[in-house]
Amino acid sequence: MQKRVVITGMGVVSPLGCDLETLWSRLLSATSGVVPLDRFDAAEYSTRIAAQVRDFDLNSFIPPKEQRRMDRYCWYALAAARMAVRDAGIDLSRYAPARSGAAISSGVGGLETLSEQARVIAEKGPRRVSPFTVPAMIVNMGAGLVAIEHNLQGPNYAVVTACASALHSIGLAARSIRDGECDVMVAGGAEACITPLGVASFASMRALSSRNDDPAHASRPFDKERDGFIMGEGAGIVVLEALDQAVARGARIYGEVAGFGMTADAFHMTAPRDDGDGAKRAMQQAMAEARLNPSDVDYINAHGTSTPLNDKIETLAIKGALGPEHAKRVMISSSKSMTGHMLGAAGGIETIVCALAMHRGVVPPTANYTTPDPDCDLDYVPNTAREATVRACLNNSLGFGGHNGCLALKRVP
């Protein structure tokens, strides 16, 4: 018999704050986390703004000696995972280590470490390259370090599917519990690619907004004046366990991970299919697994990157998945209008946003929505949060390479 899987703990490191309450209050007030870049000199860059993590007390999570052995993305993963476990109120030592696991993704892993050590070998030679280079930069190390800290000896992996990475990890982790393989999973994603190479690479693709003189309003999903996404960073991690186990220990339940869909566009390296079929099928799969009709879905946390093509095609996909009439009634918002695009961590933090919307009865807005676009003609909850009972919601993540993912979440009374 398959088990129902629920979220009992959540942890965040984000441009809007490094705890749930700060993140949530700033989302509801449509506060932007986008600021002028100050991590490096960006004077020669076409994009000089980003959604950087601030007010992060690293020393409270990782001793200075250990910090030097890790990439920034691993700092974020360890901190968010520890917060999620604490929020869940779960004593992991009481569960069989072999039935406890970690699925924590990153889109690019330790880009900061890779860039720095490439500079070292060029300037100082191969003998000066750090012995921690490979362990710090590989994409699976976030999951590995979380498993070490919490003695999670079961499944341990990092799905790498670009911007769909964290969502895919959460979906697959939920299946491990549903199918009886595990009792508890710590799942999500972490990213830290606001580096000279990271920003320059995305800027050269013309994927980033160049609204440098107005950072707070640069990310504007579904708005006619959108001109590209804003790079973000951080981590979003959840604790998953079976519903019966959570009830037995008296856990607070944020919501149920009831369905998961994953598809491929098989179309283009960076562009979505013109008809949105891949994203549509991912949503349909998630709803089918969750036994939801389209009319049951009250809210969608969209991928909503603020790029001209993505937002248009995702709108089309939503209409295809829900039907044109219900698509007009469902509430849709993009957290990226405030957090920026956290790449491989986006699906983690946006799953948390969905869970909070269900648990607290408030849908966060899409910030900076001022000019309607005829190609984006749905209800994007513009600029102002909305009180609403959310019985079920979808969370979309769509990645370069044509990787599509969707989670269907249900409210647990």
Catalogue the active-site residues: 163, 303, 341
Token pair 């696991």 is found at 101
Strand order in the sheet with 403-410: 156-157, 100-105, 184-191, 234-242, 5-13, 255-264, 403-410, 392-399, 299-301, 331-333
Token pair 């470490």 is found at 113
Is residue 159 within 8 A of residue 105, CB to CB? The reply is yes
The dihedral over CA atoms of 177, 72, 338, 220, expressed in degrees to the nearest 10, equals: -100
Type of residue numbered 323: G
Rg (CA), the chain: 20
Strand, coil or helix: 277: helix
49-50/35-36 β-pairing: antiparallel
Phi, psi values for residue 282, rounded to 5°: -65, -45
CA 258 – CA 20 distance, rounded (Å):
23
CA 320 – CA 97 distance, rounded (Å):
43
CA distances for 170 relative to 43, 74, 157, 178, 238, angstroms: 38, 18, 11, 12, 8
